Amino acid sequence: MSFLSVGISHDHAPLDLLERVTIPEDEFGKVLGALLANANIQEAVVVSTCLRTEVYAVIDRFHGAVDEITATLAAHREVDVDELAAHRTIQFDRGVANHLFRVASGLKSVVPGEFEVLGQLRRSLERAEEEHAVGPELSELFHRSMSAGRRVRAETAIARGTTSFAQATVDLVRRQVGPTLASMSVAVVGAGQLAEGVVRGLAGLTEGPAGVVVVNRTYDTALGIATSLGDPRVTVAPWEELLSLVRESNISIFAADVPESLVTASDLDHRERLIVDLGMPRCVDASVDALAHTTRLDIAHLESVVRATLADRHAELDAADDIVNVEIEKYLEDRRSRGAAAIVSEFRELLDGIRTAEIDRRSSDLSDLTPEQREKVESLTRSLVAKIAHTPTLALKEAAGTDRGLRLTEALRNLFDLG
């Protein structure tokens, strides 16, 4: 059994492709079903965020599984297979753990140390469990990676300062408009974790905006954000007022999960406004860039904000990386040890099965033995089996966690036809 991950991320793929390949969470089940229908994919988890879409899988054949995952993603999102293959990243076995642990720790994020990714990984695993697409090994990999991510944030200062997309967005807005923010009105579209973080960040500024209006398809969800803050500057508007709200606001921040653009150039007038689009796919059509007095920023612009906050955090990034390396080694050691224990148990069960089967086969020859004599035969054969199993058992246990241990395990499986 081997691990494989195939996907694209902001490190190697253009934003346009990321946008087209992003999988809405309500489609995870369909994608998982399509993945498991392939011959070489035994288990799978789909992770799709604004900056990465990846499949983590337990596989049989490496090359076959890579092609199957790529083709499944391309077909589902109607993307050319060759285009996706040109930008995909592939990790195998140990590389999968190296990659996922760093994703969970925020070391692969545009905003290093950001917290949102932990929730995204947790929800991805939960969806895979709901679809019965994941087994104990892949589940353990995700749980251990998320545990490492929590440790990194607890033991290092990587989470100091701008540590989430929400905070980075608020910083981006402040840098863009300066002190005039205090007199401006802001519309926040969406009411998920990211949108709520933006609203809380804006409301928490010493010189925050004059008003923040939250608009969401589900009105009560938006109302819950406003109610929890108890800030008179934060109000709620119904979804039907979205376009008029965007036209009237100085700043509009989109943090919604939508299948297509909500706003185009034809929906807006020529008043001066700032639009920040955090959606993936994007909520605001690129046509608004043609409007002379509209400035549209997206996720790519957050990187400049993040770079400015990282100048004094390189030591913390190194410390976080050290923790991740330790946690990866612990996980791999535990996995190898479990593998050694399992193969030892299977080997001993096989030998004992042969012993008992042979005694049963020769039971007529032993029928004249007294119970005491029969027990001596049983004891003698058990002792012989234990002595035969002793040397390979000792070698496997001593080599657990090493390349030699893996070779010994594979040899034992092949020699004795173990599962």
Give the catalytic positions in this structure. Answer: 50
Residue where the block lists tokens 């593998």:
339
- Coil, strand, or helix at residue 311? coil
Which residue(s) pair with 3 in the sheet?
Answer: 58
Q: Under DSSP, is residue 174 helix (H, G, I), strand (E, B) or coil?
A: helix
The structure tokens listed for 293 are 């007095």
Separation between Cα atoms, residue 103 and residue 117, nearest integer Å: 8
The Cα-based distances of 303 to 10, 163, 194 in angstroms read 11, 12, 17
**Structure tokens of 13?**
């793929």
Buried b / exposed e across 270-280, counting CB within 10 Å, b at 16+? eeebbbbbbbb
At residue 135, the 3 state secondary structure works out as: coil
> Which residue blocks in 286-370 are alpha helix, DSSP H?
299-309, 314-361
What SS3 state is found at 273?
strand
Q: 175 with 200: CB under 8 angstroms?
A: no
- Beta-bridged to residue 187, according to DSSP, are 213, 252
- Between CA 100 and CA 180 the distance in angstroms is 41
User: Quick one: DSSP state of residue 284?
Assistant: B
Helix then strand then coil, % of the chain, to nearest 5: 60, 15, 25
